[in-house]
Chains A and B, each alone.
Chain A
Amino acid sequence: MTTMKKCEEISRQLIAYLDRRADSADRNEVEAHLAECSACHARAEEFQKMWGVLDALPAVEPSLGFDARLQARIAEEPRSRWFGWMVPQPRLAFAMAMLLVVSVWMGNMPNVNSGEGATAGTEQQDFEAIKDLGVLENYDVLSKFDALSEVPAESSPTDQQAKPVDQQSPDQQPATQE
């Protein structure tokens, strides 16, 4: 094995050797190499000196309010209770309430599509309402409508507006007849 390759292998164990965490086999191997390799020996010494510099880095202390701030944040945390599973979530409770309201409202709405019988009855009523509308377009029927002849002669202006077309004066004729 070349010295260079050995140095590479030793380098992986060097830190554990220097911090005294290497097992005895690794420790013996590293010590044997350091005894014969001046470069690795010098490097190991520099590592130790560099660690001395790192040790000089001062530690900081947490500020005085650290614990109080943390306790305040913890106090804001929701506490779990044995009946916690029974307490509904606010959003879920709101959704359930809204669903109930909508259900009641829908149930009270007039039911326009509640079966064939009801549909047939509604159609009959609609037909009765419009079946005589054609009479209003029949001029002969309107002109001979007896009920109109019973209108008093002295009638109010409002009544005059209700006269049939053939009893109106010429100046009151619709423009379409001129």
Chain B
Amino acid sequence: MEHTHALQLYGNASVSYTVDAMIRSDVELMLQVKAGNDESFNVLLQKYRTPLVNFLFRMVREKATAEDLAQEVFLRVYRARKQYSPSAKFTTWMFRIATNLALNSVRDNRHRQMDVSIDAPVEEDVAPIQLPTRELRIDEHMIERDRSEFIRRTIQSLPEKQRVAVLLHKYEEMDYAEIAKILECSESALKSLLFRAYETLRVQLAPLVSAAAAQRAGEGRR
């Protein structure tokens, strides 16, 4: 994952950091931050701000809140620089902070009772998803924004732990060991968790899958 993000940044002319700085490992960069090198912290910021904001946006579904939370994550990393020890991957540490902040934010917004299980299904204050019927030509009637919003809401409807697992697996492309550490579970439990999550998504997103297949078929006939 680190390699992928680094490659994406190389193509960005606005990034003034040297290639040498970018290929340094996150651990090396963080140890330099610990030693007082703020430029290394900026490299980490450039490298991870977009993935972090996207992860948090998919968790909380509000961009402003996602950015506030992402800032808080970076601030906590910076504050903890003196105590940093490279016992775990930097991304594991950072996304664990992000996950905890996002879950707390979601729970705070629910105005709900105190004991919310991490495996509990999403509460009813999230508006129930209106599944488009197969008869409705959603490829004709649903604009792209609504389609994206539908996908986000479907992901949002997953239980918290399943949602975090899907976002880290699908969009951050983390390996199982790292996701399991963030969620504090075994890899075997994570695989079962992911299967249940994707099984739910497979059923709920079936109309979009059918619509996409129909659209491809229509384009093929033209």
Of all chain B residues, the one with the shortest Cβ separation from A59 is B54
Q: Which of B171-202 contact A (CB under 8 A)?
A: 171, 175-176, 188, 191-192, 194-195, 198, 201-202
Cα–Cα distance between A66 and B171 once the two chains are bound (Å): 21
Cα–Cα distance between A43 and B147 once the two chains are bound (Å): 23
B78 at interface (Cβ–Cβ under 8 A)? yes
B106 at interface (Cβ–Cβ under 8 A)? no
Closest CB in chain B relative to A5 CB, distance in Å: 15
Assess whether A69 is in contact with B54, with CB atoms less than 8 Å apart.
Answer: no
Cα–Cα distance between A80 and B75 once the two chains are bound (Å): 15
Q: Which residues of A contact B66 (CB under 8 A)?
A: 60
- In the complex where A53-B208, A70-B45, A77-B79 touch, is A62 in contact with B67 (Cβ < 8 A)? yes
Assess whether A53 is in contact with B50, with CB atoms less than 8 Å apart.
Answer: no
Per-position contact with A for B99-123: 1 when CB-CB < 8 Å, else 0? Answer: 0000000000000000000000000
Assess whether B70 is in contact with A62, with CB atoms less than 8 Å apart.
Answer: yes
Cα–Cα distance between A175 and B8 once the two chains are bound (Å): 114
Q: Which residues of B contact A66 (CB under 8 A)?
A: 49, 53, 67, 70-71
B198 touches which of A47, A56, A63, A69 (Cβ 8 Å) = A47
B63 at interface (Cβ–Cβ under 8 A)? yes
Range class of the A interface residue count: 20 to 34
Assess whether A63 is in contact with B67, with CB atoms less than 8 Å apart.
Answer: yes
Assess whether A57 is in contact with B70, with CB atoms less than 8 Å apart.
Answer: no
Which stretch of A8-16, A85-93, A122-130, A131-139 is in the interface?
A8-16
Could you list which residues of chain A lie within 8 angstroms of chain B, going by C-beta atoms?
Answer: 11-16, 19, 21, 43, 46-47, 49-54, 56-63, 66-67, 69-70, 73-74, 77, 80
- In the complex where A12-B188, A47-B202, A61-B50 touch, is A53 in contact with B209 (Cβ < 8 A)? yes
Cα–Cα distance between A74 and B72 once the two chains are bound (Å): 10
In terms of DSSP, what is the predominant structure of the interface of chain A? helix
Assess whether B50 is in contact with A54, with CB atoms less than 8 Å apart.
Answer: no
Assess whether B53 is in contact with A60, with CB atoms less than 8 Å apart.
Answer: yes
Assess whether A57 is in contact with B201, with CB atoms less than 8 Å apart.
Answer: no
B96 at interface (Cβ–Cβ under 8 A)? no
Assess whether B202 is in contact with A50, with CB atoms less than 8 Å apart.
Answer: yes
Assess whether B212 is in contact with A49, with CB atoms less than 8 Å apart.
Answer: yes
Closest CB in chain A relative to B44 CB, distance in Å: 11
Q: Which residues of A contact B79 (CB under 8 A)?
A: 77
Q: Which residues of A contact B74 (CB under 8 A)?
A: 70
Of all chain B residues, the one with the shortest Cβ separation from A74 is B78
Q: Which residues of B contact A47 (CB under 8 A)?
A: 198, 202
Cα–Cα distance between A12 and B176 once the two chains are bound (Å): 13
B94 at interface (Cβ–Cβ under 8 A)? no
Assess whether B151 is in contact with A62, with CB atoms less than 8 Å apart.
Answer: no
Q: Which residues of A contact B37 (CB under 8 A)?
A: none
- Give 4 nearest A-B pairs by CB, closest first: A49-B209, A62-B53, A50-B202, A53-B208
B205 at interface (Cβ–Cβ under 8 A)? yes
Of all chain A residues, the one with the shortest Cβ separation from B71 is A70
16 pairs of residues in contact across A and B, judged by CB atoms under 8 Å: A16-B176, A19-B169, A21-B175, A21-B176, A46-B209, A53-B212, A56-B151, A56-B212, A57-B171, A59-B50, A60-B53, A60-B63, A60-B66, A61-B53, A63-B67, A67-B49
Closest CB in chain A relative to B183 CB, distance in Å: 15
